[in-house]
Amino acid sequence: MSLTKAVCLPSSIQICRHIWTHFRRACATISGYRIMRPDDANIVGNVHGGTILKMIEEAGGIISTRHCNTQTGERCVAALARVERTDFLHPMFIGEVAHVSAEITYVSKHSVEVQVNVIAENILTGTTKVTNKATLWYVPFSLENVDKIVEVPLIEYKSNEQEIEGKKRYEAQKMERLETKQRNGEIIMPVISPEPFSVGFSQSSLIHLVGPSDCTLHGFVHGGVTMKLMDEVAGIIAARHCKTNIVTASVDAINFHRKIKKGCVVTVSGRMTFTSNKSMEIEVFVDADRVFEPEKYRAVSAFFTFISLDKDGKPLPVPPLKVETEEERKRFEEGKVRYLQTKAKRQTEKARQQ
C-alpha cells in the first residue's frame, strides 16, 4: 500500500501578502550617493550647508512620497512641513562622496517622520565621517486636488516604545510649529548708513523667481531648494560680519508654513541676531509674492548658526554684534538663551557617551 504525503502550499493570497509586506518594508528605507563638485562648495572648498540640506530633503521627499503611494487610491506627493534642528558635525569637501540614507521612523494619520544620515567618504584614502543627522516631517497632498491631504499608510514598528517615542516627537513638533507661526509677522527693513558689525551692516536679502526646475509634480517649490536659498543668504550675512571663510554649523527647526507656487517671486531676507565668541546666529525669512494675485505671505522661517574659520579650517573669534535698538537687544537675549540651551544639551549628550 502506497501512501501519498500531503504538501501544504501557500495560497496565492498568502504569497501576495508576503510580497506586499516585503515591498512596504523596502519602501521604509532609501540610500544614495553623489560626488561633491566645485559648484557645490565655496571658494576654499567647503561644501555649502545648503547643498547638503538639499540632498537631505531630496532623500526625505523620495522615501515619504514612495511610502504614501504604497496604498491603493489617490496618488500623492509628500511636501516638506518641518526640519528639526540639524547639526553639521564635520565639514565636507570637493571630491568627497556624500552617502545619504533615509528611513521612515514614525507616521501619524497625515504626516511622515523621516530620519536622514549623511556620511562623507574620501575615495582616495577610504576614510569616512558622519557629517549630518536630520529629522524631517512630510505631509502628503493629492495630485488631483493640491489642497487635499491624503492619509498616510501605517508602518511596522520594531517595538511599542518606538511608536510611543515617535508620537511624543510628533506632538512636540506640532506645538512648536504653532508657536512659530504666531510670532512670524516681522519684516526686515533696510538701514541707511549702518555702522560696521551692526545688525543693519550685514543684513541681506535675495530675490528669486520660482521656475519649473525648482518645483515638485504639484508645481510647488521643493523644500530643499528653499533651504539652499536660505543658507546662501545666511552665509552672505555671516561673511559680511566676519570678512573670513564661514561655514554652516547648525540649523534650528525650519518651519514651512505655506506652500510656494511656481511663478511666485520669493524674497529671502536675513539678519544677525546673536554672536558668541565663536558663533553667529542668523534669522532668515522667506516671503512669497504671487505676481498675478494681490497676495504676499510668510512661507518659511528659521535660525542658522555659522562659525568663522581661518586658512587651516580652525575656528576664529567672531566680532561682537553691535545692538542699537530695544528690539535688537531683545532678539540678542533670546538668541543667547537658545545658544546656552544648545550648549547645555551638547554637554549632557557628551557626558552620556563617556
pLDDT bucket at 67, cuts 50 / 70 / 90 = very high
Active site residue 87: no
pLDDT bucket at 313, cuts 50 / 70 / 90 = confident
By C-alpha distance, which of 253, 312, 303, 308 is closest to 282? 303
Query: In sequence order, what are the residues at sequence separation of 6 or more whose Cβ sits closer than 8 angstroms to the Cβ of residue 174?
Result: none
DSSP state of 214: G
pLDDT bucket at 1, cuts 50 / 70 / 90 = very low
Q: Would you give the distance in Å from CA 8 to the centre of its chain?
A: 51
What is the Cα–Cα distance from 240 to 134, expressed in whole angstroms?
28
What pLDDT sits at residue 183? 57
Lookup result for grid cell 550647508: 49
Residue 20 has pLDDT above 60, yes or no: no
Lookup result for grid cell 493570497: 13
Q: Would you give the distance in Å from CA 117 to the centre of its chain?
A: 12
**Cα torsion through 8, 11, 17, 20, rounded to 10:** 110
pLDDT bucket at 166, cuts 50 / 70 / 90 = very high
> Within a 10 A sphere around the Cβ of 253, how many other Cβ atoms?
18
Residues 181, 186, 189, CA angle at the centre, nearest 5°?
155
Phi, psi of 40 (to 5 degrees): -90, -5
Residue 286 has pLDDT above 90, yes or no: yes
Active-site entry in 40, 214, 231, 252:
231
Residue 13 has pLDDT above 70, yes or no: no
Residue 12 has pLDDT above 60, yes or no: no
By C-alpha distance, which of 81, 62, 177, 222 is closest to 138? 81
Would you list the DSSP string of 9-42?
A: PPPHHHHHHHHHHHHHHHTTEEEEEEEPPGGGB-
What is the Cα–Cα distance from 104 to 86, expressed in whole angstroms?
17
Active site residue 231: yes
What pLDDT sits at residue 178? 73
